[in-house]
Chains A and B, each alone.
Chain A
Amino acid sequence: DGGITQSPKYLFRKEGQNVTLSCEQNLNHDAMYWYRQDPGQGLRLIYYSQIVNDFQKGDIAEGYSVSREKKESFPLTVTSAQKNPTAFYLCASKVPGREQFFGPGTRLTVL
């Protein structure tokens, strides 16, 4: 079955620690996205990539980093510079002119 997978489902981070969230898709989509969702809020864009080896900052990129070495994969690293990382993180992908498809999400909690 085609789709988007995110791992882990739950992630706990200690103060000062970097963590990486995985996002993989087998839909052959060129564009991939990372969003952050806080309680009662809409989704906010962190980073997006329209093609392999290229990515752009979204509205809230500070404290985050990404890579796009393969079409299928778009991992997100939450660095220690992100002061308030506790949130629900959602990965998405799409092809031009079509709807965005979302993964199941990763819930990150700072201990």
Chain B
Amino acid sequence: KQEVTQIPAALSVPEGENLVLNCSFTDSAIYNLQWFRQDPGKGLTSLLLIQSSQREQTSGRLNASLDKSSGRSTLYIAASQPGDSATYLCAVRPRQAGTALIFGKGTTLSVSS
């Protein structure tokens, strides 16, 4: 059964620092991997979608990489800002069993000014 793990569970950094969030998954048979942001009490906002044939995707200060063979993805945030404070969730779409995503528990990021 596919399992998704995110490390660390929480992270605190000063403003301006570059940081990396990690996501690992146990089964490399995936269609894609998606990174989301969630603010407290809110829904999820999609940040980046990486198809299984891709190695990375970039959007502004965010860069996500995918190494399907090793079951790993990283989300790199450059020049962090207090507005980046949120929970970041990683999810994979397995090749089997429909089209639903399997989520990690998230990394809660706090950026101090």
Contact = CB atoms under 8 A, between A and B. Distances in A.
Decide whether A and B assemble into one complex: yes
Interface of A: 6, 31, 33, 35, 40-45, 48, 50, 56, 58, 88, 90, 92, 94, 96-105, 107
B99 A31 contact: yes
Q: Interface of chain A, helix or strand or loop or mixed? A: strand
Interface of B: 4, 34, 36, 41-46, 49, 51, 89, 91, 98-101, 103-106
B105 A102 contact: no
Contacts of A56: 98
Given A48-B100, A50-B98, A103-B43, 14 more contacts: A42-B91, A42-B106, A43-B91, A43-B101, A44-B103, A58-B100, A88-B41, A90-B43, A92-B44, A97-B51, A100-B34, A100-B91, A104-B43, A105-B41
A43 B89 contact: yes
28 contacts: A6-B43, A31-B99, A33-B100, A41-B105, A42-B4, A42-B89, A42-B103, A42-B106, A43-B44, A43-B101, A44-B103, A48-B98, A50-B99, A58-B100, A90-B43, A92-B44, A94-B99, A97-B51, A99-B34, A99-B49, A100-B46, A101-B46, A102-B43, A102-B46, A103-B43, A104-B42, A105-B41, A105-B43
